[in-house]
Amino acid sequence: MKNYRVKLSYRGTNYHGFQRQNNAMTVQQAVEDALSALLGENITIYGCSRTDAGVHAREFYFSFKTDNPIPPRGIVFGTNVRLNDDIALLSCEEMPPEFHARYSCRGKEYEYLVYCSEIRDPFLCDGAYRLMKPLDAGLLNREAQAFVGEHDFKSFCAADCEKENTTRTIYSFTVTQTGRLYRFRVAGNGFLYNMVRIMVGTLICINEGKLEVGAVKRLLQERDRTLSGRTVPPQGLYLDRVFYDDIYNRK
């Protein structure tokens, strides 16, 4: 039996997240259905992450096993013709038997887009969070540096997060501006439920004066979700990069 790693991208607007659900269409179900039809067997895929409803992925990986002799190129093109236009397999490669898309992952990078304008942009309606007033990118970038390093992110995960260990390491966090579009880019070894959206929401609250400058350091110590900023909507969030060990020759 061969073990494959597949890279794909998707626009999450029409899906209730990645992970299969009993009462809603998800990316996992769409891909599993397409792969199963192509390979003539029931395929289960294992994703590198669980994205929420409406969240997008420019780079996402999953792994699966099959006895079918079809080559990797055939898997990519044969699956793509069975998928809607908002999901695309980008590559496929055979991996060692022990590789697992989730458990072999060593880190991820997310990007969150904010569009600041009194008038909506029809091309960003499901691809960015719109605010009426401009942001101070310099201030936000300075404040974001307090997230970098190993911290307990209890204040920055959903109240119903079931993880007992809420300590994570953030490698980098930058905020940049191009015209009316602001990019929040954060990379780390792992992320809790809604963590990126709450971190971005907290920075925006600092920009709006609803939280004091320097609040991030205090909130990390407080370990209380009720004290941090709002959870920004999912449509501005993109899983942008996924990191694996060098032994897997990530391309």
Domain with residue 123: its CATH number is 3.30.70.660
Query: Domain check: are 70 and 119 in the same one?
Result: no
Answer with the one of 78, 104, 130 that is the final residue of a domain: 104
Task: Tell me, yes or no, whether 251 lies in a domain.
Answer: no
Task: Tell me, yes or no, whether 250 lies in a domain.
Answer: no
Query: Domain check: are 231 and 164 in the same one?
Result: yes
Query: Domain check: are 71 and 145 in the same one?
Result: no
pTM of this structure: 0.93
Show the CA angle centred on residue 236, arms to residues 131 and 114, nearest 5°. Answer: 35
- Residues 215 and 143: their CA atoms lie apart, in Å, by 8
- Residues 185 and 180: their CA atoms lie apart, in Å, by 16
Largest CA distance in the chain: 60
CATH number of the domain that 45 lies in?
3.30.70.580
Contact predicate 35/43, CB 8 Å: yes
Contact predicate 15/85, CB 8 Å: no
Task: Tell me, yes or no, whether 248 lies in a domain.
Answer: no
Task: Tell me, yes or no, whether 116 lies in a domain.
Answer: yes
Query: Domain check: are 81 and 199 in the same one?
Result: no
Query: Domain check: are 121 and 224 in the same one?
Result: yes
Q: Does the active-site annotation cover 160? A: no
Q: In this structure, are strands 237-244 and 56-66 parallel, antiparallel, or unpaired?
A: parallel
Task: Tell me, yes or no, whether 132 lies in a domain.
Answer: yes
Phi, psi dihedral angles at 191 (to 5 degrees): -135, 140
pLDDT at 159 (0 to 100): 76
* pLDDT over 80 at 154, yes or no: yes
Query: Domain check: are 169 and 154 in the same one?
Result: yes
Query: Which residue is catalytic, options 52, 86, 126, 136?
Result: 52
Answer with the one of 42, 77, 104 that is the final residue of a domain: 104
Binned at pLDDT 50, 70 and 90, residue 162 comes out as low
Task: Tell me, yes or no, whether 79 lies in a domain.
Answer: yes
Task: Tell me, yes or no, whether 247 lies in a domain.
Answer: no
- Residues 15 and 55: their CA atoms lie apart, in Å, by 9
Q: Which has more confidence, 22 or 140?
A: 140
Q: Which domain holds residue 88?
A: 2-104
Answer with the one of 81, 104, 127 that is the final residue of a domain: 104
* pLDDT over 50 at 242, yes or no: yes
Task: Summarize pLDDT for 41-62 with one digit per residue, the tens.
Answer: 999 999 999 899 999 999 999 9
Query: Domain check: are 133 and 152 in the same one?
Result: yes
Query: Domain check: are 23 and 89 in the same one?
Result: yes
Domain count, the chain: 2
CB atoms within 10 A of CB 229: 24
Query: Domain check: are 114 and 222 in the same one?
Result: yes
pLDDT at 173 (0 to 100): 98
pLDDT at 248 (0 to 100): 44
Query: Domain check: are 86 and 209 in the same one?
Result: no
Contact predicate 215/156, CB 8 Å: no
pLDDT at 195 (0 to 100): 96
Give me the percent of the chain exceeding a pLDDT of 90.
93
Contact predicate 90/58, CB 8 Å: no
- Residues 70 and 2: their CA atoms lie apart, in Å, by 10
